[in-house]
Amino acid sequence: MAGEETIAALLAIWDEGQSSSHWPALLPVLRQLVDQFQQNADDDTRAEIAMRITDLLRETDPDLHRKLIQMRRTIRAGEAHNRFSTRGMPSGAELSAVWQEIRTREASIYGESITTGNISGTGIAIGQGAQATVHQHFYEPRFTRYTDISCPRLAQVNSRVTVTVALTMQPQPESVALQAIEVFEGKVRVRIDAPGFEPLSPLEQTIIVERDDDSAPVVFHLKARETGPHEIAIQFWQRGNLIATVVAPIEVLEVEPVFAPALIPKTPVSPRMADVTPPDLTLVVFRDPAGRMQFTLHRDNITLCYAEQILPRPPDALINALFDELHLLQRGTDSANRRRGSSLLTAEQVERRIRNLGYKLWDVLIPPELKLYYARERHQWQSAIAAGQRWSLLVQSNEPDIPWELVRPYSDGPDCWEEDFWCQTFHFARWLLKRPDSRQSVVPLPRLRLRTLAAIVPTCYPELKAVPEEHKLLRDLIARYRLTDRSPQRATEPAVIALLETGGFDWLHVITHGDFFAQSALHSSAIGLDDNQWLASSAITGPRIRGALRDHRPAIVLNACHVGREQPSLSGAAGWVTQFVGSGAGMMIAPLWSVNDEFALRFSEVFYTALLNPDRPATVAEAMWQARNAIRQPDDPTWLAYSLFAHPNARVEVEVQPSQA
């Protein structure tokens, strides 16, 4: 249970504390805190109390604090032998018995009645008659911690699988995953998503990060239900943001295996996600290799809804057919009419068909439990919209191909309601939890730098009439904010590859043609460059390009047809989203199908104007929403084409360089 190690260590050194000169001031406060800990069953509250005890001793009596930390480590190692009857961690009943013994003894010595204090407010006072209170604010400073995870690589069906998780001050070589995380002192919520496993313990538990100690481990028990390849996703949350995800592969066998730990590569330090306001809603969708999907909806560090979904068939065919249909609708026809010599569809007919595609995604992808929860709670974000506000929604998934922004919720029940597409109802964004061909995961950037900009603008496509105006928009940004211009003189393949390998840019904006290869085993999509050559998404690979993306974490805007689409290939999805976001880009915008040239220009104009508004800079999701709204037309789905991979509440930081005059 959360904080019990701290309480056990405190009671173990209680008698030693009496020799401290600070003990008379500490005693009434510690009594009240331990009383409240014993009386409270909420893990989060108990964890807050335990952490406040540690902070109190650190601030008031460093010597006693060192003894507390040492005793806690001794208990954790199973070596403690003191007033408790067992070595290591005592049971909850034994903790209560020892505390009652201490309180009874002190009451007889000091002639006091045994009473309990109250925990409220935001601070703690030390002195005569002080009331004990627990911090409810966020703790500073920040710390780097390393994931310490134990998880088997092989398991037997219908057997128990144990996963232990901790955050440590130093890397642990025996951990199956070494991911460095930037965290604040305080609570970190750990959640397990494991399609194909039956939970035998709570799927969410709390660990405490303290500035001078490793966290106590939390233990998850699962039961393997099905043989075959599986993945267990271990998520770390702090202050409402998903700050890291570790995915452990596990093979479930019919026979009992020889133990083998899962092996996951070390990943870079995650950014300080607690610095940014969390989304109003976060939907985590985890899809395992067998097609099982888990949906978990979060808000304010609370899991609102959890549901599983098994699709009868992979969604690839549905998604490709949906994109093809949108491509046709942009041209005024659809798959039912294009081969029959029918006249073009009216604007009303096109709009109705676009809505139907959103309904289809809601029907097929969203599990019934989540639909019921959504219907019950939708009044909250609808009321916010009516009041002139709009909630943010972040969909985090381990696949890049499902267009979650196009989901259009509705109910045909007695109340018979419907909403707009998710990308219109919410300030909407997506994120890729990990590359499909890798165990590494990255998180979106909470702050996007804009000091250096690179524009890739080929000049060999005269049919793109709006390209010169969009290029001028970028040059104006460079001049206005005195940005460093890293644009190649000509957008040739050698120049673009050299730019990507060296990095050194915060922002990359590409304006060109794009194409999609539905049947290719090597490439998902490509962009047109000068000299009439095409650069495939598969080129964004190798140590230099991926290393530069990981180190610089730039924002990427691809304003070209089709470049947001994905297609499974020999090494997993090989499209631009996977290649850029999966390798470390901090933000990415790309259209999923063909876009109107003039609308693409207008989209960029509105997006940058909102993002860089000097009076009220918009978040990236808000700027995206404004840009969509500016180009929305009933007979053209271009406004729906753009997909945003980012933290919805991320903002751009512009550092205007001094004039060279």
424 pLDDT more than 80: yes
Domain boundary residue, one of 67, 94, 110: 110
- The pLDDT, as a whole number, for residue 479 is 95
C-alpha 60/C-alpha 443 separation (Å) is 38
Kindly state the average pLDDT of the residues 202-230.
91
Of the candidates 248, 227, 238, 109, the residue with the CA atom closest to the CA atom of residue 178: 248
Q: What angle do CA 613, 646, 588 make, to 5 degrees?
A: 90
Longest dimension (CA), the chain: 99
CB-based contact 185:209 (threshold 8 Å)? yes
CATH number at residue 503: 3.40.50.1460
Pair (540, 598) in one structural domain: yes
517 pLDDT more than 70: no
Q: What angle do CA 91, 92, 95 make, to 5 degrees?
A: 90
Pair (514, 638) in one structural domain: yes
Q: How confident is the model at residue 118 (pLDDT cuts 50, 70, 90)?
A: very low
Of the candidates 215, 222, 219, 217, the residue with the CA atom closest to the CA atom of residue 183: 215
112 pLDDT more than 80: no
Pair (543, 601) in one structural domain: yes
3-state secondary structure 569-588: CECECCCHHHHHHCCCCCEE
C-alpha 508/C-alpha 452 separation (Å) is 9
Pair (147, 34) in one structural domain: no
pLDDT tens profile 459-485: 988 888 888 999 999 999 999 999 999
Angular region, 416: left φ>0, alpha ψ -120 to 50, beta rest: left
Run of H or E including 145: strand 142-150
Residue 163, in any domain of the structure: yes
C-alpha 535/C-alpha 512 separation (Å) is 11
- The values of phi and psi at residue 222, to 5°, are -130, 155
Pair (74, 203) in one structural domain: no
Q: How confident is the model at residue 573 (pLDDT cuts 50, 70, 90)?
A: very low
| Percent of the chain predicted with pLDDT > 70 | 86
- The pLDDT, as a whole number, for residue 436 is 72
Domain boundary residue, one of 221, 246, 275: 275
C-alpha 528/C-alpha 513 separation (Å) is 5
Q: Are strands 507-511 and 302-310 parallel, antiparallel or unpaired?
A: unpaired
Enter the tokens of residue 629: 């709204």
Pair (149, 195) in one structural domain: yes
C-alpha 136/C-alpha 139 separation (Å) is 9
C-alpha 334/C-alpha 329 separation (Å) is 6
Run of H or E including 609: helix 597-611
Enter the tokens of residue 107: 């009451």
- The pLDDT, as a whole number, for residue 532 is 87
Residue 129, in any domain of the structure: no
Run of H or E including 32: helix 23-39
Residue 19, in any domain of the structure: yes
Residue 56, in any domain of the structure: yes
pLDDT tens profile 520-544: 556 568 888 999 898 888 888 889 9
CB-based contact 193:284 (threshold 8 Å)? yes
How many structural domains is the chain composed of? 3
Residue 160, in any domain of the structure: yes
- The more confidently predicted of residues 139 and 458 is 458
Residue 265, in any domain of the structure: yes
C-alpha 579/C-alpha 573 separation (Å) is 9
Pair (587, 448) in one structural domain: yes
Alpha helices in 412-555 (DSSP H): 422-425, 467-480, 493-502, 542-552
- The values of phi and psi at residue 595, to 5°, are -125, 150
Domain that holds residue 215: 142-275
Domain boundary residue, one of 221, 255, 275: 275
- The pLDDT, as a whole number, for residue 274 is 64
C-alpha torsion sign, points 455, 459, 461, 464: positive
Residue 621, in any domain of the structure: yes
Kindly state the average pLDDT of the residues 426-448.
86
Tokens 């041209």 map to which residue? 331
Run of H or E including 310: strand 302-310
- The pLDDT, as a whole number, for residue 450 is 95
Pair (80, 147) in one structural domain: no
Kindly state the average pLDDT of the residues 439-463.
89
Residue 335, in any domain of the structure: no
- The pLDDT, as a whole number, for residue 325 is 86
Pair (637, 510) in one structural domain: yes
Pair (62, 151) in one structural domain: no
Tokens 């029959």 map to which residue? 340
Kindly state the average pLDDT of the residues 390-418.
91
* Average per-residue pLDDT for the chain: 84
Pair (626, 542) in one structural domain: yes
- The pLDDT, as a whole number, for residue 91 is 77
- The pLDDT, as a whole number, for residue 87 is 63
Kindly state the average pLDDT of the residues 257-264.
66
Alpha helices in 61-152 (DSSP H): 62-76, 92-110
CATH number at residue 172: 2.60.40.10
pLDDT tens profile 135-187: 333 346 788 999 999 999 899 999 999 999 999 999 988 888 888 888 888 88
- pTM for the full predicted model: 0.79
C-alpha 365/C-alpha 362 separation (Å) is 6
- The more confidently predicted of residues 414 and 384 is 384
Pair (473, 570) in one structural domain: yes
pLDDT tens profile 24-80: 888 889 988 988 888 887 777 888 888 889 888 888 888 898 888 888 888 877 776
